[in-house]
A and B are shown apart, each in its own frame.
Chain A
Amino acid sequence: MIGYSVEKEYQGMIDAYERAGGDKSALQSRDVAKLVIHENRVLSADSVKGLKIETKETETGVNVNFIIEEGAKIPRPVHLCFGILPKEGLQEIVMKVDAQDNSEVHVIAHCIFPKAVKVIHKMDADIEIGNNAKFDYKETHYHGEFGGIEVIPKARVKVGKGGVWQSTFALSQGLVGKLDYDFEVTCQEKAVAELIVKAYGKGSDDIKIWEKIYLNGTGARGLAKSRLVLSDKAKAEVRGETYGNAPHARGHVDCIELVNGTEAVARAIPIVSVTDGKAKVTHEAAIGSIDRKQIETLMARGLDEDEAVDVIVRGILR
C-alpha cells in the first residue's frame, strides 16, 4: 500500500515511466509483480505467486533480493521502474537475483532520469540462473536532454546447466551522458547467454560497453551483440569478449557502430578466445558512416536525407 506522503512521488514516477515508453497500467495492476524505486525509496514492491521481491533501503539506494522459486513460470512480465526525478541525486541499486531451477520469468525494466543534470545511477547485480531456468531481461533508459548523468550498470551472471539468460539494454532516448556498462556471464553445460546493447550517443556522450561471456560448459552458447549510433561529439568504446572453454561451445561477438558526422569517435575491441579444440567462437565488427546506398534507397522513395538517416538509425536501434 502506498502512503499518502509518497503518493505524489509515485505518480511522478508512473508519469515519467509512461513517457519513457513503459506500460503504465502494468504498474497500477495488483496482479503484476513490480518494483518502483525513486532515489533510495521503495514506492512499490509487489510479489506474485512464485516470485518474491525483498527490499532494504540504504542511505544511497536500495538492496533488492529477487527470487523466482523453483519451477515457477511467472505468467506476466515483471516490471521494474528505477529513477530520479529531480535534477540531482544518487541511486545505488544492489541486486541479488536467484532464479531457481526450471523457473521462467520475463522482466521489463525502465530507468528514468528525465531532468538529470548531476545524477549518478549505479546498479551492481549478482545473478544466478538455475538449471533449465530462463530469465529474459529488457532494460530501457530515458535520460532527458541535459546529459548530466552517469550510469554504471554492472552484473555478474551465472547460468546453470541448460539455463538461458537473455538481456537487452537500450538507451536511445535523450542524451546518454556517461555510460559504463559491464556485464559478465558464465555459462555451464548447454546454457545460453545473449547480451544485447543498443545506444544512441549524441552531444558529448561518453559510452563504454564491456560484454564478457565465458562458455565453460559443454555445448554452451553465447552471443554478445552491440548496436551503437554516434553523432555530434559522442564517443564510444565497445569491448565484446567471448571465451570458448569447453567442447562444442559456440560463441559470437557482433558489433556495429555507425558514426554520423565528422566529430564522433567509435572504437570496437572484439576479443575471442578458445581454450578447447572443439569450441568455436567468431566475431564481426563494423564501424563506419551510414551506408550511402541505404540512404539513397530511402531517398529514392521520397524521403529527405535526414528522414532517411532517421529511419536507418531507428532500425538499427530497434
Chain B
Amino acid sequence: MLVVEKLRLALNGKPIINDLSLHVEKGEIHGILGENGTGKTTIAYLIMGANNYKPTAGRIIFQGQDIADLSVSQRAKKGITLAWQEPARVEGLTVRDYLTLSGNHRKINQIERYLWMVGMEPGQYLDRDIDATLSGGERKRIELASVLAMHPKLAILDEPDSGIDIVSLPLILNGIVEMNRQGSSVLLITHSERVAEIAHRVSILCAGNIIRTGAPSETSQWFKNNCLTCPHINEPTDEIK
C-alpha cells in the first residue's frame, strides 16, 4: 500500500531523514518506534505532505503512484490522513462539524459511534468547540474519532498516546485496532513499546533511518535493551548499522 524508498530530507543543510525505506502492507498496523528527535514526526509530515516538507531525495509511493508532489488535500483524497501529535484547535468549529466534515457528511448516529469508540459521550462533546476549552487528552481523542470517521486507506497516527492519561490509553488503543478492523492500514508512530505492541510489525527509527524491523514483542525488547540504554543519541553505533 505504502512504499517509501531511500527517502531523504535535509533542513537548513542538516540531514533529518537519511535514506529511509519502509513499506506498509494493506491491512497492516505498522509501528514506528523511536526516541525523541529521531525523525518520527518528520516522516509523518513527509508522507502527508504537511508543513511544506518535500523530500530532498527518494520516493513515496502510495498504491503505485508517487505522491511526493501532491498537496495535503490531494493525498487525503487518495485516502491518506494524519492525526497530529498536537492537534490544532479551531475556535468556532464544533466537534459535530469537525467529525461531520471528516466523515464526508456521514449521518449523526455514525458520528456519535466514533466518539463512543474513543470513550467520549457524544451528548457532552458534540456541541463543544475544538478550541482551548478542551484538555489535551480530549482533543487527542477527538482527533482519533475524526480519523475513524474518515475511514482512510492509510492513517498516520503521530504519537496518539502522548498526553493521554492511563485510564484513557486503552480506549485509544482500542480505537486504533477498530480503525484497522474497519479496513484502514495504520502507520503508528510512537516512543512507547506498550503502544507498539498493537502493531503487526514494528520498525525502529534512529537518526532518520530504520535500523530494524520485526515482530512487536521482539523489536520492542530490542528497543528497550539497545535504544533506551544507548549513549549515542541519534547516532547508531557501528554494530547496529
Give A contacts to B, CB under 8 Å.
Answer: 227, 256, 291-294, 296-305, 308, 311-312, 314-318
Residue in contact with B76 in the complex, picked from A227, A302, A311, CB distance below 8 Å: A302
Tell me how far the C-beta of B189 lies from the nearest C-beta in chain A, rounded to whole angstroms: 15
Bound complex: CA of A305 vs CA of B71, how far in Å? 9
When distances are taken between beta carbons in the complex, the residues of chain A under 8 Å from B150 are 301-302
Known: A303-B101, A315-B92. A297 touches B87 (CB 8 A): yes
Q: Is B10 positioned at the interface, with any CB of A under 8 Å from its CB?
A: no
Nearest-Cβ distance from residue A308 to partner chain B, whole angstroms? 8
Contact B90 A312 (CB under 8 A): yes
Q: Please state if A305 and B73 are interface contacts (CB–CB under 8 Å).
A: yes
B43-92 residues with Cβ-Cβ distance < 8 A to A are 48, 50-51, 71-73, 75-77, 81-82, 84, 87-92
Give Cα A300 to B81, complex, Å: 5
Whether A297 contacts B101 by the Cβ 8 Å rule is no
Is B180 on the interface with A (CB-CB < 8 A)?
A: no
| B146 part of interface (Cβ distance < 8 Å) | yes
How many A-B contacts at CB < 8 Å in the complex?
69
Contact at A303–B93, with CB atoms within 8 Å?
no
Say whether A291 contacts B88, CB under 8 Å. Answer: yes
With most chain B CB atoms within 10 A of its CB, the pick from A312, A314, A315, A317 is: A315
Interface pair B92/A304, CB less than 8 Å apart:
no
Q: Which residues of A contact B77 (CB under 8 A)?
A: 302
B-side contacts of A299, CB under 8 Å: 71-73, 76
User: B124 within 8 Å of A by Cβ?
Assistant: no
The residues of A that contact B71 with a CB separation of less than 8 Å are: 299, 305
User: At the interface, yes or no: B102 with Cβ under 8 Å from chain A?
Assistant: yes
Q: Is the CB of B73 within 8 A of A312?
A: no
**What is the CA–CA distance of A302 and B75 in the complex, to the nearest angstrom?**
8
Known: A296-B51, A297-B84, A311-B101. A302 touches B73 (CB 8 A): yes
Set of chain B residues within 8 Å of A303, measured between Cβ atoms:
73, 76, 101
B104 within 8 A of A: yes
Give every chain B residue within 8 A of A294 (Cβ-Cβ).
Answer: 88-90
Residues of chain B within 8 A (CB-CB) of A312 are: 90, 93
CA A300 to CA B155, docked complex, whole Å: 10
Q: Which of B89, B92, B101 is A317 in contact with, Cβ under 8 Å?
A: B92
24 pairs, A vs B, C-beta closer than 8 Å: A256-B91, A294-B89, A294-B90, A296-B48, A296-B50, A296-B72, A297-B84, A297-B87, A297-B88, A299-B71, A299-B72, A300-B72, A300-B76, A301-B81, A301-B101, A302-B150, A304-B73, A305-B71, A305-B73, A308-B73, A315-B90, A315-B97, A316-B92, A318-B92
CB within 8 A of A316: which of B48, B75, B91, B101? B91
